[in-house]
Structure 1
């Protein structure tokens, strides 16, 4: 009887590990969820079976109603600044990278996620997460995998809504074409509707994503977040 239980636990850990980095973009100062599902903003991972407070006959929880956010929308026509940093993907050599992000957004790292860095606005409501994607995989495959993970991991009451899925080519600031795949979605992790853009970028002239980034904020921020996304996509590169 112990072996099936172990398999269930391993499956939960696998899903969390694959998808946790995107959810953590909601509230940048809150740790990612653990397998117990107790930490925000991930919400609770759907358990494999009933818990003491949940039986098979329990009705599903209602979909959350988002509370209006009173924060003014992020302004467009932002000024940008080139930032350099080093990340350390698991089982791979450290990678030096550069990217342009809004001027004044502050740098943040998480010792538990050495492969990525974040640049956050003064309210910690909007941010850019950048990661060295190792091993590189086709951008389309990375997008498809995240959609599956999101649908498996987010509880129905968080009201996940996929807004768009695209694959295209964008000219970088080095005048070279870059293949990118982009997923845009919204969800309600706590009480506020969040707007998330995840993009996989190939800076090597092929379709293998060596860079992964997410841009997160509020729905009303979307015009400005599109500016941030484009500048980040055009400028991001590995420098060593």
Structure 2
């Protein structure tokens, strides 16, 4: 009888040992597979960033110089259907070439010989918003349309009043920002001008280039703002 009991005990120990060995083996396999055992803290893997900012490729082109800059007067027509055609005049740096596109009949561009800087002039749109209102609208549009990796940076914004060549005061608003549309960081100045005799914007100008062009582009903006107007 004692022999039978002893044998039964050995069988029971064998079963318990087998079960314990199975559990230890299961935990070992789980740990090897990246799992956790009972009572152990679960560590979630760190998710990758949603986006990575572009690294701008430096452009070694010397900055646009203010000294020696000379300007030339231009007059041209633009039209934005169904609005009537309007004639616009302004001065841009001498040697910058006027270009147009059938896809954008409401604007013209003046490109420098290297095609790195430009003045874009748009007019003929409904004059129902002030320069400050158009400024706020563009900021919202940029923040919603530019992907984060383009690293949009608003450098300056504000509204003011300036005097044109004839001594007439006119409302303006200005936005300066940089971003990386492709590989190189671009420097952009956008200005709206109320040139129609009231407080509504009638002309939008964008002066673009490289960050090192900031001073030169500021001089271009000053001259364009002073001379821009709509002709009958």
User: Which category describes the TM-score, using the shorter chain as reference length?
Assistant: 0.7 to 0.9
> Is the counterpart of residue 61 in structure 1 residue 46 in structure 2?
no
Of the structure 1 ranges 203-212 and 145-154, higher mean CA displacement relative to structure 2 is found in 203-212
**Cα distance in 2 for residues equivalent to 1:149 and 1:64:** 20
**1:143-222 correspondence runs (5 A):** 143-222=135-214
49, 72, 77: which is aligned to 1:86?
77
Runs of 4+ in 1 over 6 A off after TM superposition: none
Shift of residue 133 of structure 1?
A: 4.7
What is the root-mean-square deviation in Å for CA atoms of aligned residues?
A: 1.2
Q: Normalising by structure 1, what TM-score? A: 0.74
Tell me how far apart the structure 2 counterparts of residues 69 and 102 of structure 1 sit (CA, whole Å). 22
Structure 1 stretch displaced more, 127-136 or 96-105? 127-136
2:102 equivalent among 101, 108, 111 = 111
User: Which runs of no fewer than 5 residues in structure 2 stay unpaired?
Assistant: 1-46
Paired positions, count: 184
Uncovered stretches (5+) of structure 1, i.e. residues with no partner: 1-56
SS of equivalent residue, structure 1 residue 207: coil
What is the alpha-carbon distance in structure 1 between the residues aligned to residue 198 and residue 126 of structure 2? 14
**Cα deviation 1:155-206 (Å, max 9, x = unaligned):** 0000000011110011101111111000000000111110000000011332
**Higher alpha-carbon Rg:** 2
